[in-house]
Chains A and B, each alone.
Chain A
Amino acid sequence: MRHAHVLRFFWAAWLLAVAQPALAGPREVTLYFTVEKDGTLIGGLTEDNFRLYEDGEPRKFRLETPETPAAIALLVEYSQASWLYMEDIYRAMEGFMHQAPEGHWYALATFSKDLEIRVDFTKQRGRIANAFADLPRPFWNEINTYDAVYEMLERMGQLRGRRILIVIGSGLDTFSSMRLEDVRRKAEAVNVVVYAVGVGSLLRTVYEPYLSQPARMDLLQAEAFFQMLAQKTGGQAWFPRFEAAFRDVMRGVMQSIAFHYKLVYESNLPEDGKFHRIRLEAFRFEGDRKTTFTVRVREGWRTG
């Protein structure tokens, strides 16, 4: 009889252990974000200008100076199938060369069928342009964007400090082994800010009326993919329609990086693999008048 009680006790304890998520100690969560008002980046705000909520609960936090240098990686679509909008890709790279300030770490990776690391992080940004200018003609027709973004997020997720991924591509995907869902979960799990520069928008505007419904759906999905990446990670997505606009877009990317805030808070939520939503409000009182700002911050976080 006593044995049965003991067994029941252990059985109940085991059930509880399985049912309850592991309670981990407090974990530090870091957010990199920008603050805007009518499209203008706002700097100089202090802790009093923000309010942070995690899964709807207010959280205490502190602002810190973002790490400089940041690790900035360019991920560029480079496939035979990209030839229709290759000029856009070149313009984007040119814009990067003109706008990227010295002092950060820069890396270059390209993808078609596979991801290829062309230049590992270097402070000599000229090496990025040189390597890109002399890439051999693309061999594959595939545009495996999901695989490439996933792998880059995974690689960058292992780094420390401020990490930024700039994706230059159409957003289309041909034969990735990863699904959109896999990339979304990865973007939620790693603290990498993604800026996406969509190419081929002008072409799309011209030819869209002649496209079939599935083709239009593909294009919409491509744009939505970049929007999702930006939204999940606190970055931004652009779809310039004119060649000249690429330089402005790259200026926008670099300005956003320059205007980054860094916020750190301790979370007591369990590392249960679930998504924990973040809401960050920014405001300023000028006399009695409250001005609210738009905050570009990652949507939340998850472990795993």
Chain B
Amino acid sequence: MHETAAGLPQSPGRSPRSYLALLLSLLLAALPVIQASNQQAVPRPALPPEVLAAMNEALLRPYLELFEQAARLEFTPAQIQEMRRYLEQARSNCVRRWRERARQLERDLEKAQAELRARTAKLKPEERRELHCQIQNLRLLKSQADTLAEHAVPVAFENRLAKLELIEKWPQDEKKIKEELASGAYINRRWGDVLDIGFRQVGQGQEEDIKIGQETVEQMKLAGLMPPEVKNEVIQQYVARLTREVARHSDVRVPVRVTVLNSKEINAFALPGGFIYVERGLLEAVEDEAQLAGVIAHELAHVAARHGHRLMRRSTIASLIYQAAQLAAMILTGGVASLGTYYALQYGFYGLGLVLSLDLLGVSREFELEADQLGIQYAWHAGYDPKGFIRFFDKMATQEGYVQGISWFRTHPPFYRRMVEAMREISFLPPKEKLVTQTDAFQQMKRELEKVVAEAKEEEEGRPSLIAPEQGCPAPEKLEFKPGERRIETVCDMPTS
């Protein structure tokens, strides 16, 4: 008998090391089982089929419809709780599954590239082309899997969970709103003095921000971060006119300078001091003038409340631009979960919305909610249907799960809270007749936009690329998800009924 260091007797061949080896081998043997259990589909929610079908159908409805119908939907708290548990589990399973898929694709890609490197001098043209095609396809699949795991799937589930919460809580919230309306208490909410827009104190000293804004614009241009402007007078003038109209009915006290940038990104942003930038992609995405006015009013609210100034206090512009540059580099090198690579491969551009510092844009969870509230007030005050903001948000969250560049989604105040707060504010606004949703000028802008988009498309098609597709490859594989066309159930292997 041997003795261990602690003086305990030990049988020969049973040292602590051998126990450790045994444990490790057991773990290794169990690994496939653990992996298989991880990849199993989520068990169906314990709900009667008709309830599951009705709930799934309700969760696909737009927010505005749900606000109206929530009180009439008869789901029990237990059913809602079961659905929530199921959705949360499904989200985590689905994300894990796509991360694993992305890792596997990465390994396949490395293997193919290693083979290319090893045989490059001896490859026949057809062998080389075959390998190029394989690498090209793997790159695309990898970026798609990354985007699904890190962006599309989480956003899609968050949207579902927010709608579930709305079904559960909105009837109660609505009652409270009605009580507040009846008692007149709603006037005491923060920024409840909507009849005094333009005369109340929202952000004192806005003019001090002009210099910061100018400097930021200059530095962004110097750093080459600013996309080119849209060279179309009709579009520039239309957006400028709309923005000034909303600004005139807001608490913004500085001159507003508006520029439409020629970038596919669905985004608009405001720099301190009244510098508003609207990207072409946003104009393509909005369906009516009320939606566009809602987004622009939200950005004007950041200017009015001086959110940028308040967040930038401890930073210099140079450091923020440097952060932007660093982030740009991370995106360009695939550091941000390859979203940049995805954009680059899919669209040939890297979103400015991913690059700009949130501090610079005055975006934080708290400030986003404030900008939502003020923006809704400004759009309403300018005569626009304030629900346009909710409709656009819904469209973005439901159909454009990929588009995470937009600053609205980056800070992530919970969707439910954002939607409920927006609806609450709309309910408190004094009724107004003839709220504008659509105009002829908007339609004309859209027609002009078609020309600009066609030109941009032409230029994009002529854009040279070092990672240009290998000619003559079979059509690339695509992962089974396209926002707006296929539901997340397909991607996550979830039952629909």
Contact = CB atoms under 8 A, between A and B. Distances in A.
Interface of A: 71, 73, 105, 107, 109, 114, 117-131, 133-136, 152, 155-156, 158-161, 163, 177-178, 182
21 contacts: A105-B463, A107-B466, A120-B344, A120-B467, A121-B463, A121-B465, A124-B224, A126-B222, A126-B223, A126-B224, A129-B325, A133-B329, A134-B326, A134-B329, A134-B330, A155-B468, A158-B468, A177-B117, A177-B120, A177-B121, A178-B121
Contacts of B328: 127, 130-131
Contacts of B227: 124
B302 to A, nearest CB: 24
Nearest to A113: B117
Contacts of A126: 222-225
Contacts of B465: 120-121, 159
Contacts of B349: 122
A182 to B, nearest CB: 7
A159 B464 contact: yes
Contacts of A134: 325-326, 329-330, 333
Contacts of B330: 134
A131 B341 CA distance: 13
Nearest first, the 9 closest Cβ-Cβ pairs linking A and B are A126-B224, A134-B329, A71-B464, A130-B325, A159-B464, A126-B223, A130-B328, A131-B332, A121-B464
A126 B220 CA distance: 9
A105 B226 CA distance: 15
A117 B329 contact: no
Chain A, interface SS category: mixed
Contacts of A129: 223-224, 325
A158 B469 CA distance: 10
A160 B461 CA distance: 12
Contacts of A120: 344, 348, 465-467
Given A124-B224, A127-B332, A134-B330, 19 more contacts: A107-B464, A114-B117, A117-B467, A124-B226, A124-B227, A127-B224, A127-B225, A130-B223, A130-B224, A130-B332, A131-B328, A131-B329, A131-B333, A133-B325, A134-B333, A158-B468, A161-B464, A178-B120, A178-B121
Nearest to A105: B464
B275 interface: no
Which among B225, B226, B333 has the greatest number of chain A C-beta atoms within 10 A? Answer: B333
B389 interface: no
Contact of A73 (B117, B226, B466): B466
A73 B464 CA distance: 10
B484 interface: no
B228 A123 contact: yes
Which among B326, B332, B463, B466 has the greatest number of chain A C-beta atoms within 10 A? Answer: B466
Contacts of A109: 466
B350 interface: yes
Nearest to B329: A134
Contacts of A159: 464-465, 468
A267 to B, nearest CB: 23
A203 B457 CA distance: 48
Nearest to A158: B468
A118 B344 CA distance: 11
A147 to B, nearest CB: 8
B292 to A, nearest CB: 25
Contacts of A125: 224
Nearest to B118: A177
Contacts of A155: 466, 468
A142 to B, nearest CB: 12
A152 B467 CA distance: 11
A121 B468 CA distance: 10
A118 B332 contact: yes
Contacts of B223: 126, 129-130
Contacts of B468: 155, 158-159
Given A117-B466, A125-B224, A126-B223, A182 B121 contact: yes
A152 B348 CA distance: 19
Interface in B366-410: none
Interface in B434-475: 463-468, 471
A124 B225 contact: yes
A117 B340 CA distance: 14
Nearest to A125: B224
Contacts of B225: 124, 126-127, 130
A127 to B, nearest CB: 6
A76 to B, nearest CB: 14
B63 to A, nearest CB: 36
A69 to B, nearest CB: 9
Interface in B213-234: 222-228
